[in-house]
């Protein structure tokens, strides 16, 4: 048995044992003198949902005890293979996107390895004015050092297959000229040293089909964004390190900030168009998981390296934008139910599909558990045939919440302790600052949890009802939300919270007391959404501080300098944009 399989098996055993024990204890300590049918249903729900919580927490615990390896390489060593850096864009801000490309290009030039990397901007933009601005700013980008013959731009008139189709189009038309392709998103930013090392690793391992980095979220300004940024920068490496131990050579692909071997990708990753109409049919939305599975099926190694560093992205700055993106991911992950039984896939790939599905199905299951618990409290005298199994003083449903909190919080505290021991906390402002950030993040995520639960449950129900969410363009930047806009987006959550808390307060006041922690955040959802979408009043708040924020990396500083320079120069002239618009229209 290989090491990853052994670790998977042991982790699976632990997760099954703990979740089964939790379900048994819930069953054992529920009901006065007997059990209702609702008690049995709730015990099943507790067992099933807690398994995935324990499984995720186990990855973090594994990561805490796994040794951290600091990459050691010569950043000026030239890779042998030729790499295409692919930047798919879709109605993005051209200034922000092209300035990131300029920063990465300068980083490569400074290391004297730029000649081994070409950059291709692959536009799927549908807004003509934005497309016209792209052409103007691309011409601006061509003034960058060593840009001639290395930086290219093309725009598709029809964005068939969306991002996956965009990449496939490039691979089919131009992939033969390159050994590797570094796939980015419009908000991706990477150090030239990291890019060079990824290509060299492909050179050294002929069986390596894909190498995935763990991107850090940067440039967040709002409370919501900074919370995600801290979690991604401080927590994610430990989770990813533990997951990597289980994944072995069958690792993940997250669709960006990863390098692929072009020949392997071209031969293995042709995506089918699923029969039927969306949301279950049509083009595969969560294509990255599928492409990783197809590479593994073909015998290629797929790895993630949490220690590589120098890989960045930006995240949503408010809950509404997050929910829009999450709706697409939900639809894409639920599509995978049709691919679980695909021939030739490895066990871990199939399990990864199930994990992705349960990442969203868990929300309506937790909501069902909450609903059935309310019913059980309202109708306590309907005993089942299992009379006498329960105890005289049942454990209330809030005890389940406490157990869930322990599973979620303990790994974070373990990461804190490890950071204090190995000195990592110093890069985040010190252990006392990290502790404050963790406490604030736990409190913030706990308050938002009922709102997130409702949003994800709605997304799942929409997919199950056959409603297609499409692929809305991402609005990057702060996008502060007013109370009115927040209410329009969450009025149904408010109504649900009011009805749930109001009805229990009338018919079962004791139930309303433990329901309040879930119902009150739902009732105040517009206020939470709006307040968390605004930046902190402090210029540099003490909590949620990250290492890249305290000490920006060279490519981050270069990007900020380029953005400032380009902003001073101003937007393209109306004449230039008009001429470009005429060209686009033609």
* pLDDT tens profile 280-339: 999 999 999 999 999 999 999 999 999 999 999 999 999 999 999 999 999 999 999 999
User: How many Å apart are CA 289 and CA 377, to the nearest integer?
Assistant: 42
DSSP bridge partners of 118? 84
* Cα-based distances in Å from 374 to 23, 34, 378, 497: 18, 18, 6, 13
User: How many Å apart are CA 57 and CA 561, to the nearest integer?
Assistant: 40
Give 84: exposed, middle or buried? Use CB within 10 Å, 0-12, 13-18, 19+.
buried
* pLDDT at residue number 199: 98
Give per-residue pLDDT as tens, 261-284. Answer: 999 999 999 998 999 999 999 999
In sequence order, which residues have a C-beta less than 8 Å from that of residue 497 and are 6 or more positions away?
450, 519, 520, 521, 522, 523, 525
Helix (H, G, I), strand (E, B) or coil at 39: helix
> What totals of helices (H) and strands (E) does the chain contain, helices first?
20, 10
Q: What are phi and psi of 140, to 5 degrees?
A: -65, -40
Helix (H, G, I), strand (E, B) or coil at 209: strand
Helix segments in 180-271, DSSP class H: 192-204, 223-230, 236-247, 262-268
Count of C-beta atoms within a 10 Å radius of residue 109: 18
DSSP state of 282: B
In sequence order, which residues have a C-beta less than 8 Å from that of residue 583 and are 6 or more positions away?
132, 135
Around 348, how many Cα atoms within 13 Å sit in the side-chain half-sphere?
23
User: How many Å apart are CA 38 and CA 382, to the nearest integer?
Assistant: 9
User: How many Å apart are CA 394 and CA 29, to the nearest integer?
Assistant: 5
User: How many Å apart are CA 369 and CA 45, to the nearest integer?
Assistant: 6
Tokens of 560: 């900020």
DSSP state of 215: P
Q: Give Cα 217 to chain centroid, integer Å.
A: 10
Q: Are the C-beta atoms of 452 and 523 separated by less than 8 Å?
A: no
Count of C-beta atoms within a 10 Å radius of residue 232: 21
Q: Are the C-beta atoms of 160 and 284 separated by less than 8 Å?
A: no
In sequence order, which residues have a C-beta less than 8 Å from that of residue 333 and are 6 or more positions away?
286, 289, 356, 357, 359, 360
Tokens of 95: 């200034």
DSSP state of 235: I
In sequence order, which residues have a C-beta less than 8 Å from that of residue 143 and are 6 or more positions away?
none
Tokens of 439: 């406490």
* pLDDT at residue number 569: 67
Q: What are phi and psi of 204, to 5 degrees?
A: -80, -25
User: How many Å apart are CA 84 and CA 266, to the nearest integer?
Assistant: 14
Nearest alpha-carbon partner for 224 in 135, 159, 314: 314
Tokens of 397: 């449903």
Is the CA virtual torsion 491, 496, 499, 505 positive or negative?
Answer: negative
* pLDDT at residue number 475: 67
Is the CA virtual torsion 457, 459, 463, 466 positive or negative?
Answer: positive
Nearest alpha-carbon partner for 408 in 547, 235, 220: 235
Give me the residue spans of the domains in the chain: 3-67+358-532
> End-to-end CA distance of the chain, in Å?
61
Around 332, how many Cα atoms within 13 Å sit in the side-chain half-sphere?
22
Question: Per DSSP, which regions of 41-177 are E strands?
Answer: 83-89, 117-123, 151-155
Q: What is the 3-state secondary structure (H, E, C) of 409-452?
A: HHHHHHHHHHHHHHCHHHHHCCHHHHHHHHHHHHHHHHHHHHHH
Q: Are the C-beta atoms of 330 and 360 separated by less than 8 Å?
A: yes
Helix axes 162-174, 287-297, angle to 10 degrees: 50
Q: What are phi and psi of 453, to 5 degrees?
A: -60, -45
Q: What are phi and psi of 216, to 5 degrees?
A: -95, 140
Nearest alpha-carbon partner for 315 in 190, 231, 426: 231
DSSP state of 274: B
**Max Cα separation, the chain?**
83
Nearest alpha-carbon partner for 288 in 72, 88, 69: 88
* Cα-based distances in Å from 482 to 91, 261, 450, 561: 24, 46, 20, 31
- In the predicted model, residues of the chain with pLDDT beneath 70 are 1, 30-34, 380-401, 471-479, 537-539, 569-586
């Amino acid at each position: 048995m290989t090491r990853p399989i052994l670790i998977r098996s042991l982790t699976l055993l632990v997760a099954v044992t703990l979740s089964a024990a939790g379900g048994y204890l819930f069953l054992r300590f529920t009901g006065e003198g007997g059990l209702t049918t609702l008690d049995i249903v709730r015990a099943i729900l507790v067992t099933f949902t807690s398994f995935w919580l324990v499984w995720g927490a186990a990855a973090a615990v594994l990561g805490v005890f796994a040794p951290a390896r600091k990459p050691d390489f010569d950043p000026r060593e030239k890779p042998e293979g030729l790499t295409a850096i692919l930047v798919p864009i879709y109605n993005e801000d051209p200034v922000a996107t092209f300035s990131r490309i300029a920063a990465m290009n300068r980083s490569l030039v400074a290391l004297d390895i730029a000649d081994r990397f070409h950059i291709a901007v692959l536009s799927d933009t549908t807004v003509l004015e934005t497309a016209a601005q792209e052409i103007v700013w691309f011409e601006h980008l061509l003034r960058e050092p060593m840009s001639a013959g290395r930086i290219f731009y093309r725009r598709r008139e029809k964005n068939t297959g969306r991002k996956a189709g965009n990449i496939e189009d490039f691979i089919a038309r131009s992939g033969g000229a390159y050994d590797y392709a570094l796939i980015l998103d419009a908000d991706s930013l990477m150090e030239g040293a990291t890019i060079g090392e990824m290509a060299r690793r492909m050179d050294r391992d002929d069986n390596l089909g894909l190498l995935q980095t763990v991107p850090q979220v940067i440039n967040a300004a709002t409370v919501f964004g900074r919370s995600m940024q801290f979690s991604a920068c401080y927590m994610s490496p430990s989770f990813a390190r533990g997951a990597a131990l289980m994944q072995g050579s069958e690792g993940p692909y997250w669709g960006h900030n990863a390098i692929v071997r072009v020949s392997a990708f071209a031969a293995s990753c042709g995506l089918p168009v699923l029969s039927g109409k969306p949301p279950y049919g049509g083009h595969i939305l969560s294509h990255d998981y599928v492409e990783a599975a197809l590479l593994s099926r073909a015998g290629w190694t797929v790895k993630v390296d949490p220690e590589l560093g120098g890989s960045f992205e930006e995240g949503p700055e408010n809950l509404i934008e997050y929910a829009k993106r999450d709706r697409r991911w939900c639809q894409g992950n639920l599509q995978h139910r049709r691919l679980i039984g695909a021939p030739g896939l490895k066990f871990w790939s199939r399990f990864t599909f199930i994990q992705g599905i349960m990442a969203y199905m868990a929300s309506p299951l937790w909501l069902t558990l909450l609903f059935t618990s309310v019913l059980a409290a309202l109708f306590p005298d309907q005993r089942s045939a299992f009379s006498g199994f329960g105890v005289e003083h049942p454990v209330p449903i809030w005890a389940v919440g406490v157990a869930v909190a322990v599973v979620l919080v303990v790994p974070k505290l373990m990461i804190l302790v490890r950071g204090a021991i190995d000195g990592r906390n110093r890069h985040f402002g010190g252990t006392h600052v990290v502790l404050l950030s963790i406490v604030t993040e736990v409190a913030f995520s706990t308050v938002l949890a009922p709102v997130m639960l409702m949003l994800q449950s709605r997304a799942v129900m929409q997919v199950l009802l056959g409603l297609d969410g499409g692929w809305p363009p991402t609005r990057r930047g702060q996008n502060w939300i007013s109370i009115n806009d927040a209410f329009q987006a969450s009025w149904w959550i408010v109504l649900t919270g009011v009805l749930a808390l109001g009805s229990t307060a009338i018919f079962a006041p004791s139930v309303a007391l433990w329901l309040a922690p879930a119902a009150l955040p739902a009732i105040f959802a517009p206020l939470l959404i709006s307040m968390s979408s605004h930046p902190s009043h402090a210029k540099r708040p003490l909590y949620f501080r990250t290492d890249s924020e305290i000490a920006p990396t060279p490519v981050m500083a270069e990007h900020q300098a380029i953005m400032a320079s380009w902003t001073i120069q101003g937007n393209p002239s109306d004449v230039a944009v008009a001429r470009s618009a005429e060209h686009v229209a033609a």
